[in-house]
Amino acid sequence: MSHRNLARRALVLAPAGTATADAVTTRLKTAGYSVDADAAFTEPTGPIDAFVYDPGLLDGTPTRSAAEQLLTRVAQLIPFLRTPEEGGSRIVVIASRDGLGWPSRPDLAAQSGALVSAARSLALQLGRTGTTVNVIAALPPEGSPLREAGHPENTHLYEPEALTPDPVTVHDIAETAAFFLNPRSGYITGQVLHCCGGASLLSSLSV
């Protein structure tokens, strides 16, 4: 059976109920997916083509042990992932550029780094099954409470800003997720794509 003839189903898990996850859900629906968007994991009733995990790092209210929960949820989803003959499945993890380091958010930075490590390991684990696993490391979008944090104490640093003329939005992050989920991205796995308008080029430094 051709994968193109199968109804595409996506699961978006966002324990924090984030604006980013809402934008991803809307984008997937416009791409023709049937989307289940939940704040708590529910075992699917049929095959899953896409799983998007947003633990809330960009909103400053992350789920604790986000990487451990990612590994647990993916293990539960394995029986529902598409076979290589069906085109495989896609897993996208939404993390933060804070993984590069940020003085006032070491907890978010640590969780983001752990998510990257977990996702890369899952990509190695699931590669032969046809499932890809990738990470979006995004800048907190315009409207995120993290944008109002100001200068971290005892530093000259300011909140990382996009180098591009316009700020990063939740819709930019949703489009990046759609890129990873596209069948034409089937040979991309274990990668971290910064959706940050170039802020990652500055790492933890202000210039």
Task: Return the CATH number at 117.
Answer: 3.40.50.720
Asked, for residue 62, whether it belongs to a domain, the answer is: yes
Q: What is the pLDDT of residue 2?
A: 43
What is the pTM (predicted TM-score) of this model? 0.92
For the chain, how many structural domains are there in total? 1
Q: What is the pLDDT of residue 105?
A: 86
Question: Quick one: average pLDDT of 112-130?
Answer: 97
Q: What is the pLDDT of residues 155-199, one digit of tens each?
A: 877 778 888 899 899 999 999 999 999 989 999 999 999 999 998
Asked, for residue 207, whether it belongs to a domain, the answer is: no
DSSP the chain: --GGGSPPEEEEE-TT--HHHHHHHHHHHHTT-EEEEESS----SS-BSEEEE--SGGGT-PPTTHHHHHHHHHHHHGGGBPPGGGT--EEEEEEEGGGG--TT-HHHHHHHHHHHHHHHHHHHHHGGGT-EEEEEEEPPPTT-GGGG--SPTT--------SSSS---HHHHHHHHHHHHSGGGTT--S-EEEESTTGGGGTT---
Output the average pLDDT for the chain.
Answer: 89
Q: What is the pLDDT of residues 123-137, one digit of tens each?
A: 999 999 999 999 999
Asked, for residue 35, whether it belongs to a domain, the answer is: yes
Q: What is the pLDDT of residue 150?
A: 65
Asked, for residue 127, whether it belongs to a domain, the answer is: yes
Domain that holds residue 154: 3-202
Q: What is the pLDDT of residues 34-76, one digit of tens each?
A: 999 999 999 999 999 999 999 999 987 777 899 999 999 999 9
Q: What is the pLDDT of residue 154?
A: 77
Asked, for residue 93, whether it belongs to a domain, the answer is: yes
